[in-house]
Structures are given as structure tokens and as C-alpha cells.
Structure 1
Amino acid sequence: MAEEFTVVPVAHVVGGRAEPTDDYWGGTRSIVRITPDFPTDSTERLAEFSHLEIVFRFHLTDPTDLHPGARRPRDTPAWPPVGIFGRRNMRRQNWLGVSRCRLIKVDGLDLHVEDLDAVDGTPVLDIKPWFAEMGPRGSIRQPAWPTEMLADYYAPSKD
């Protein structure tokens, strides 16, 4: 049975990129501006962390452009068809994204970040500090195509 619930943004992305792109997010700086509904001490001691995980909504995605079945990543013939749960793109049922970014500084309710792959105006649904202990345990495995596809993902911008 489908369950629905309402999610309210806790912040919005300010600055950085205006349009989403497939690559060259390296060095992109933006601000995660927490809504003034939160007290300023909601960011207390957050600056002690080097990285954040940001949960956001792909707000620019066309809702009719949903691809839940298997398809080739970036429509590249050399890569195998992969189902929606084996990809991380924006064409998803709930249009949710998760990004790990570097925290540069905390200025009240403004979190200055780098390498956040969300664009200006993106609604942020949650902000979590990165704990090394929450990272993968054991050996990591993945097919070759993500490494090939993401070779330039965090490369410096070509601009």
C-alpha cells in the first residue's frame, strides 16, 4: 500500500550552478541556507566536521521524465542497461538526491560548502554531518561503468 507524507525543506541551496550538468562539479561553491525557522544554535559545533551529507529534491526534473526500468547510463551504448535502483540520477520516483560535500565554514545558518552537486534554488530536505564510522564497512565492489562515467564528475569546472 502506498504511503504518502509531506516533507518540508529545512534549507535551500544559494549560488553555485544554475543548471544541472553531468560533470565538472569540482570546486563548485555554494551556500546551504537553513531556513530562519531554526535557531542559530542548530548549527552548534557543526564546523568541527569536514563533510556533510545533503538530502535534496531534484526540483528541476520534469515529472513526466521518469525512467524506473533498466536503461543505459547516459544513453552510452558501451554501458549495460541498469535499473533505477542501480543508478543515482534525477529521474526517480521521489526526485531525491543525496550528496556528500566539503563543509568550508559555518556562518550562523549559512553553511558554505564545496562540491555539492545541487543547483541554486534546490530545496534541502536534511543535513547530516559525515561520520567516518557510517561509511562503508568491508570491501567495496562495483562494476567498471560508474568509474568510467564519473571520471570527470568532480573534475574542476571547464568555465
Structure 2
Amino acid sequence: MPHLSDAFTLKPIGYIRSALEDLTQAPRQGIEGAPDAWIDLDPQYIEGLKGLASGDEVIVLAWFHLADRGKLAVHPRGERDRPLTGVFATRAPHRPNPIGLHRVTVREIDGSRLRVGPIEAVDGTPIVDLKIALETDS
């Protein structure tokens, strides 16, 4: 069984290129007015794009490099009138391992670049992985 002192390394596969330059510009969720953005994939991962096409929905896993990793409780959506809630019961970006989860549509693929959206990640956000989104039955 792993110990708390065990560590592992995540290596970015690319970075977000967005008009959102800082956290104050980013909406809370992509569907709340976020723009499309480009993912500049490291060229060594281009083979991983085989089978992906414009119109596909993917899950983008991002590393929120600007997050406060020491926060364990937040006011949901930053609304001070709401009670403090543990980060594991929220979608807050500030958390011990600040992994962002974004369901987006692939708009365009240009070599090792993908235009996706909407996505609320700021310019320079490292991308950890991309996964095709699965349809769910209601």
C-alpha cells in the first residue's frame, strides 16, 4: 500500500493558449461564457491524436498551476454568504492536487494543435491528458 510520502511525476503533454490571461478573467465553468482556446500539444504526442476529429467531445485534464494547494475548504463559487465547504465536495480549482476537468468540443485540429471549447483555463495552463468523452444513458 502506498504511503503518504510516496510521490509521482506528471509531465505536461501540452499547454493552453487562451485569451484568458489571468484568473480574474476566467468564468467559474466553461459553459458560463468561456472562450475557445488552443491546446499546443508537444509534437512527441501527435500520434495520440489519431482517430480524434472535429466535433468530438473530449475531457481535458489540466493542472491548475496557479491554484492555492493549501486550501481544504472554500465558499462555493466564491460566494461568501455560502458556508465553508470541503474542496472535495466542490469544483473549486484550489485543492491539494489542482487537477482541472473540462468537457469540451474539438473545433479544429491543426497538426499538433487542437482548438477546443468552451474552456475556462487560463493561458499557459499545463495539460496533463486528453480522453474521449463517453456518452451516458439518462
TM value normalised by structure 1: 0.72
Contact 2:54–2:108 under 8 Å retained in 1: no
RMSD: 2.1
Q: Which of 35, 39, 61 is 2:42 aligned to? A: 35
Say which structure is richer in strand.
2
Structure 1 residue identity aligned to 2:48: S
TM-aligned CA deviation for residue 72 of structure 1: 2.4
Q: How many residues align?
A: 130
Match of 1:57 among 47, 57, 63: 63
Distance 1:28 1:18, change over 3 A: same
Moved more, 24-33 or 95-104: 24-33
Say whether residues 1:19 and 2:26 are aligned partners.
Answer: no
Query: Which residue type is aligned with residue 40 of structure 2?
Result: R
| Inter-partner Cα distance in structure 2 for 1:17 and 1:54 | 17
Contact (CA 8 Å) 2:63, 2:127: kept in 1 or not? yes
CA distance in 2 between counterparts of 1:119 and 1:43 reads 23
Q: Counterparts in 2 of 1:64-143, with a 5 A limit?
A: 66-69=70-73, 71-73=74-76, 74-77=78-81, 79-132=82-135, 135=136
Q: Structure 1 residues 88 and 27 mapped into 2: Cα distance closer, same or farther (>3 Å)?
A: closer
Q: Which runs of 4+ in 1 moved over 6 A?
A: none
Alpha-carbon spacing, 1:55–1:24, altered in 2? closer, same or farther (3 Å): closer
Distance 1:83 1:113, change over 3 A: same
CA deviation map 1:70-126 (0-9, x unaligned): x4211431x333211111111100111111112101112111111112111110000
Q: How far, CA to CA, are the matches of 2:54 and 2:104 in structure 1?
A: 14
Q: What's the offset of the Cα at 1:16? A: 2.9
Percentage identity across aligned positions? 25
Distance 1:92 1:80 in 2: 17
Structure 1, unaligned runs of 5 or more: 139-159
Q: Which runs of 5+ in 2 are unaligned?
A: none
